[in-house]
Copies of this chain bind each other. A is one copy, B any other.
Amino acid sequence: MKWYSNKGEHSDVVLSTRIRFARNLKDYPFPARLSTVEKEKVNEIMRDIFLAADSGEKLTYTEMKALSSVAAVSLAEKHLISPEFASDPNGRALLLSEDEDVSIMLCEEDHARIQVILPGLALEDAYEKALKFDKALEEKAAIAFDRNLGYLTQCPTNLGTGMRASVMLHLPALAENGVIARLAATVAKLGLTLRGVYGNTSRFVGSLFQLSNQVTLGISEQAAVQNLNAIALQIAEQETQARQALLKDDAFIDRIWRAYGILTSAHMIGCDEFCDLLSLVRLGAAQGIVDLPLETLSRLLIEMQPATINAKQGESLSQRERDVFRAEAVKKALSRKQ
């Protein structure tokens, strides 16, 4: 079972939690300064260490050049790799667990990017899980570390803990109320970043937001995780209150049901519209208006992304064919449980 098919804590607002460690071998320059052959050497060292780690996870090693570009973009849509990593396969490899909750990018910006992603708000669990791989790495290899700067990374913004912690939040009510920009400004003062996952700053497709720690220097990993956790809980509480106010309005209930009607009936549907309608239905499901499991909706959100559809269909569909496929798949997924 993929991680995104499960439901986690506070999943009415928090879709997922992600922890990522950036680590580099002391004896090798950063990937940007390595040849493809040298990168492959680094990847092999990393592969052997991580596959041998006592993590309880069964990892699969894949050289990125063995994947089609569609398969690579699909991994990016699932947030398992970065779009940048997907764009160039040379000298790059990926370690991926069966549940897709652990993914380790080798020779992206840094030698290793250890990532754990879990459903709901689960920062402690994700942190502990990522730590196992980090410890395995530190036991077996010399890591680039400076007493004053902490972990050394190619990009200075990662210096220090080398850790990025983030949660994906579904904030349809706060977005509806137009308070996202103010909220983003507030959390920025607390060392965090809030940004839309899809769309741009003028239009947040699907009302999905990523809240992540920005400061990696002068703060412990534990403190950063606790800080993010506390603020995520506060935002979740604000969103919950905003939802309750919105749902007093029949017209908003109507929008939720119309979104449901279109998702269960349309003959074709584009990705952005799908995300926006799913956002409304997810809100309805989270608040007990629409009887649908949140896991189904979270899974759809990932599976209905363009490259993920193409990867699953095993061919490059035209946009129109994909829109028809998406509509059919969504209809099927949402009708099954009713």
Contacts and interface: CB of A to CB of B under 8 A. Distances in A.
A78 to B, nearest CB: 27
Contacts of A256: 267
A45 B249 CA distance: 56
A235 interface: no
Contacts of A262: 258, 261-262, 265
Contacts of A253: 267
A261 B265 contact: yes
A284 to B, nearest CB: 10
Looking at A257, A263, A320, which has the most chain B CB atoms within 10 Å of its CB?
A: A257
Contacts of A320: 250
Looking at A260, A261, A266, which has the most chain B CB atoms within 10 Å of its CB?
A: A261
Interface in A279-300: none
A261 B254 CA distance: 13
Interface residues of A, number: 19
Quickly give the copy total for this chain: 2
Interface in A302-338: 320, 324, 327
A268 interface: yes
Contacts of A254: 266-268, 327
Q: Interface SS of chain A: helix, strand, loop or mixed? A: helix
Nearest to A254: B267
A140 B268 CA distance: 64
A264 interface: yes
Interface in A196-252: 250-251
5 smallest A-B Cβ distances: which pairs?
A261-B265, A261-B261, A254-B267, A257-B267, A257-B265
Interface of A: 250-251, 253-254, 256-258, 260-268, 320, 324, 327
Given A261-B261, A262-B262, 9 more contacts: A250-B324, A253-B267, A254-B267, A254-B268, A254-B327, A257-B266, A258-B265, A260-B261, A261-B262
